Amino acid sequence: MKAGKVYLVGAGPGDPGLITVKGIDCLKKADVIIYDHLLDQGLLEAAPAAAERIYVGKTAGEHTRPQPEINRLLVAKAKEGKTVVRLKGGDPFVLGRGGEEAEVLAQNGIAFEVVPGVTSAVAVPAYAGIPVTHREKASSFAVITGHEDPGKDSSSINWEKLATGVDTLIFLMGMKNLPEIADRLIEYGRRPETPVAVIRDGTRPGQATVVGNLKDIVSRVAEYGLTAPAVIVVGDVISLREKIRWFDNRPLFGRRILVTRARRQASALSRLLAERGAQPVELPAIDIQAADPGELDRAAANLENYHWIIFTSVNGVEAFWERLRHLERDSRALGGLRIGAIGPATAQALEAKGITPDYIPEVYTSEGVIAGLKKQNVTGQRFLLPRADIADKELVRGINRLGASVHEVTAYRTLPATGAIARARQMITSGEIDIVTFTSSSTVSNLVAAFGGEPLTIGRARVACIGPKTAETAARAGLNVDIIAREQTVPGLVAAIEEYFRKEA
């Protein structure tokens, strides 16, 4: 049996983009992941599908597994010869009990490595626009636990020296003891007017910050209803927040937006929304599945029979190239053809395969494709159209009217993602969603089908559609469409959502 090994990996404070490259590399080779509370669940997707995932999270008053049991679990899994990732929030060695776990591993002769993470003590204030040091305001900072081991006889915090001996103080896990922290600092010499910031859910889309001073912060936190988990920052650097805050003043900050896309496509829209401060909720309305490849294989093997190939989606490009590879062919097989792409995203997918499209319409719709082809003199030419099983016939009829013939081939199938619907229904009806996005008519149709064919009821949520055709489908489903993108692309949809909220403000 091979020797096992444990990696103590810091996952960062919440934003999944803050994990290190080495941390992701460890996840990719993990046999077992033993992970904490407050981690972005998306990080677990970096691990192999077959990896065992074990949750050992701890919340106030509730420990899934006590620390000694976690220690035994690490040792046991490593002794089975497995590669174990102990995924911990923040940094393993900053108030995270990583040192204790490393001790146990060393005592049992288990090989291990420590992969440091971005600590919430520095990252959370930074996301709130608060630098922990500043040339004019703070030359030192200290990180202090706000929740000491209850089994200790006395506090190990030297309040007398801490209160005035360090410029910026950062307390982790201190919400319950906030009144005592403020009282102790004032008692031992810190000015009552010293600025204090309490930051909840730092680095996450739901981040909330309350600013006050030592004498009023407790009442201000109570007034705003702020609860744990939170980071407490004390010091003059807090005065910089209004000048340099950058995270919680982005155009879509705090908006929860439902992304109804095929699973493999959701990430692009979600990424753009997150960059603008929104909280994307990926609840795919459709799954993309392979179609019977027979007809597509025959078309791909006889490309000399066509003059044009028109791709109407990224999925169509991927499905077509998968069959080319199966036939042991590559992009050279398209050398004698003219290639059309319905829009920029599809064009980018083709360029990734080494193909620069000959034609992209000015308007990224079937009507736009047909309008542009009128100028191409395509009479008598043959078109190959590899696309979804539920695509409408408008493009086919339009090309036929131009005197050309069309061979339409099902390249992939779209099916309702029924497993996500219960959660979608609950979040929509409870008013948790601000915007419901639709990026194609099929996402609307499949959501309706997944809801059992009932009219869609979305409460207070607004509806945003990528283009007029999708908006028409949404309207037929009984929805009031609030936003239609002028440019029918994912970036165009995000821009339209931004503009909507800008006007509403």
> Is residue 314 assigned to a domain?
yes
> Is residue 249 assigned to a domain?
no
Q: Per-residue confidence of the chain (505 residues) as pLDDT tens digits?
A: 678 999 999 999 999 899 999 999 999 999 999 999 878 878 998 999 899 999 998 765 565 789 999 999 999 999 999 999 999 999 999 998 999 999 999 999 999 999 999 999 999 999 999 999 999 999 999 999 987 765 556 678 999 999 999 999 999 999 999 999 999 999 999 999 999 999 999 998 889 999 999 999 999 999 999 999 999 999 999 999 999 999 999 999 989 999 876 555 557 888 899 899 998 887 765 667 888 999 999 999 999 999 999 999 988 999 999 999 999 999 899 988 999 999 998 999 999 999 999 999 998 889 999 999 999 889 999 999 999 887 888 999 999 999 999 999 999 987 766 556 667 777 887 888 999 999 888 888 877 776 666 677 788 899 999 999 999 999 998 899 999 999 989 999 999 999 999 988 6
Q: Are residues 236 and 329 in the same domain?
A: no
Q: Which of 388, 415, 442 is the last residue of a domain?
A: 415
- Angle of helix 217-224 relative to helix 178-187, nearest 10 degrees, comes to 160
Q: Are residues 380 and 434 in the same domain?
A: no
Identify whether the C-beta of residue 342 lies closer than 8 Å to the C-beta of residue 399. no
Q: Which residue has the tokens 């639709």?
A: 438
Of 301, 383, 371, 405, residue with least CA distance to 339: 383
Residues 6+ away with beta carbon under 8 Å from 271: none
Catalytic annotation, pick one of 58, 79, 215, 353? 58
In CATH, what number is assigned to the domain containing residue 184? 3.30.950.10
Q: How many domains does the chain have?
A: 4
Q: Which of 415, 448, 464 is the last residue of a domain?
A: 415
pLDDT at 424: 74
> Is residue 361 assigned to a domain?
yes
Q: What is the extent of the structural domain holding 467?
A: 256-285+417-504
Catalytic annotation, pick one of 31, 36, 40, 434? 36
Q: Are residues 465 and 489 in the same domain?
A: yes
Q: Are residues 154 and 103 in the same domain?
A: no
Helix/strand/coil for 424:
helix
In CATH, what number is assigned to the domain containing residue 261? 3.40.50.10090
Of 283, 354, 346, 357, residue with least CA distance to 318: 346
In CATH, what number is assigned to the domain containing residue 95? 3.40.1010.10
Catalytic annotation, pick one of 15, 88, 91, 173? 173
DSSP 436-472: EEESSHHHHHHHHHHTTTPPP--TT-EEEESSHHHHH
Please say if 173 is a catalytic residue. Answer: yes
Q: Are residues 38 and 105 in the same domain?
A: yes
Please say if 175 is a catalytic residue. Answer: no
> Is residue 483 assigned to a domain?
yes
Q: Are residues 239 and 272 in the same domain?
A: no
Q: Which of 92, 117, 142 is the last residue of a domain?
A: 117
> Is residue 250 assigned to a domain?
no
Q: Are residues 111 and 131 in the same domain?
A: no
Q: Are residues 379 and 299 in the same domain?
A: yes
> Is residue 491 assigned to a domain?
yes
Distance CA 151, CA 375 (A): 81
> Is residue 297 assigned to a domain?
yes
> Is residue 237 assigned to a domain?
yes
Report how far apart the first and last C-alpha atoms of the chain are (Å, whole number). Answer: 63
Distance CA 410, CA 396 (A): 13
pTM: 0.72
Q: Are residues 376 and 429 in the same domain?
A: no
Dihedral sign, CA of 61, 62, 65, 71?
negative
Q: Are residues 404 and 428 in the same domain?
A: no
Please say if 58 is a catalytic residue. Answer: yes
Q: Are residues 138 and 156 in the same domain?
A: yes
Q: Are residues 131 and 109 in the same domain?
A: no
> Residue 430 — φ and ψ, nearest 5°?
-85, 0
Q: How far is CA 176 from CA 128, 218, 305, 481, 505, in A?
A: 21, 10, 74, 45, 36
